[in-house]
Amino acid sequence: MFTPWTLLVDVGILSILLLVGKILRAKVRWIQRLFIPPSLLAGFTALILGPEVLGWIPLSGNLGTYAGILIALVFATLPLTSKKKSEGGETIGRMWAYSQAGMLLQWGFGAAIGIFFLRAIWPVDTAFGLSMPAGFCGGHGTAAAIGEAFSKYGNGDMQSLAMTAATVGIVASVIIGMWMVSWGAEHGHTRYLSRFSELPEELRTGILPKERRSSMGEASFSAISLDSMTFNFGVVALIALAGYGLSKAVSAIWPVLMLPVFSCAFIAGILVRWIIRKVRADEYLSTPILGHLSGAFTDYLVAFGVASIKLQVVARFIVPLLILLAVGLLLTMLYVFLVGRSIHKEAWFEKSVFTWGWFTGTMAMGIALLRITDPNGKSRCLDDYAMAYLYIAPVEIALVTLSPVLFVNGYGVWFTFVCLLAGTGILLFARWKGWFKKTK
């Protein structure tokens, strides 16, 4: 049974592992070369030592819920810490076209591989190929939703297949993603990182020397009334709560339109920022403090996200499943980096590696990879993604909702054709808009 003490135990254990991960990052050279953050080390250690594998540490089954809350807190801080004015609809439009087309093409190609190739060799279900995009782009949440929907139609295997795909995807997103980051830094593709040999000691070890250390923020209140950290965190918590309420309200009014809490928190943050500026209270907020709060949320988000992976093995379909996932990873990699390099106006590598993280794993993985390549958020990738996802979410919900119904009723080929056609059409629209004309 979950109690507040359960939360304390989970956070305490992950905190210890974060400290151990920090020591390893500071001392182990190969960890430094791969830019592995302590949060990833803590997450994998918790996964191995936790209930899923060895069972040596008493972590609860609520780690995935913590990650969802932390994502909302991270996005709640974005409007409050953003200084640079938005470049307008074009930047968000590029991110939308890039992400939406990639999502549709991944679903389309996954379904096509299952229908036209794997089914011709192995006795797999017509919808077998959907396990790849459901697990990759959707993560364990979408995998569970797809599995439950197909179970109602008598296909109980889809639950295990999609969950296994999600597990493979999340591991691949980190391992391949970290290799990509290291390769990108060595070849000069990263905008905010340079070659490993040229990096200053503090970037490799993560420890700032005394002469480079700075204040974490300015106090706006006397501690005798309300601590400044309490005020800043209180505003962020208020925004996250408003985002949760907005998400629930939208779901109650339009059950089909289930907006994610983190997107709603971003919208609420914009509204709160506008109100604070109108009443001239923005001077009491500390941007450095808010930035450090966001960093702390992200560290725990990544650790809890990795630790919550559900390791499930599917032996019956292991060969076709491995083929499906390997082809899916290859096609996703080609799309993410080839199209990303052409469509993004600035910081193409940072935005591409973020997209790789959430196209194959989860939002937590995307944020982890982005934070390595863009530790100070200069690319504004999350800002653009949060707004673009408002338009992507209804399509994703439609894919998850309609695909089981269409495949069960014999319309799988039509579903595949529409996904491929729509994804290609969006890319052609982006080219017509001139978004592929990459500038310096």
User: Which tokens hold the place of 36?
Assistant: 């592995």
pLDDT for res 309: 66
Alpha-carbon distance 286 to 319, whole Å?
A: 54
- Asked if residue 164 lies in contact with residue 340, where contact means CB atoms within 8 angstroms, the answer is no
**Which of 388, 408, 386, 367 is CA-nearest to residue 126?**
408
Alpha-carbon distance 403 to 419, whole Å?
A: 11
* Domain boundaries along the sequence of the chain: 4-198+296-432
pLDDT along the chain (440 residues), means of 10: 89 94 84 73 88 88 79 82 59 88 94 91 86 81 71 75 79 82 78 60 67 71 79 91 88 69 81 88 82 84 74 69 92 91 84 89 74 76 80 80 84 93 94 72
Q: DSSP H helical segments within 187-227, as ranges?
A: 201-205
Alpha-carbon distance 225 to 203, whole Å?
A: 38
**Which of 3, 20, 1, 34 is CA-nearest to residue 303?**
20
pLDDT for res 313: 45
Q: Alpha-carbon dihedral of residues 334, 336, 341, 345, nearest 10 degrees?
A: 160
Residue 63, exposed/middle/buried by CB under 10 A (0-12, 13-18, 19+)?
buried
Residue 288: in which H helix or E strand, if any? helix 287-307
pTM of the model: 0.66
- Neighbouring C-beta atoms of residue 36, cutoff 10 Å: 22
pLDDT for res 196: 53
Q: How many helices (H) and strands (E) does the chain have?
A: 19, 0
Q: Which contacts (CB < 8 Å, 24+ apart) does range 146-151 have?
A: 146/400, 146/403, 146/404, 149/400, 149/401, 149/404, 149/405, 150/404, 150/408
**Three-state secondary-structure class, residue 227:** coil
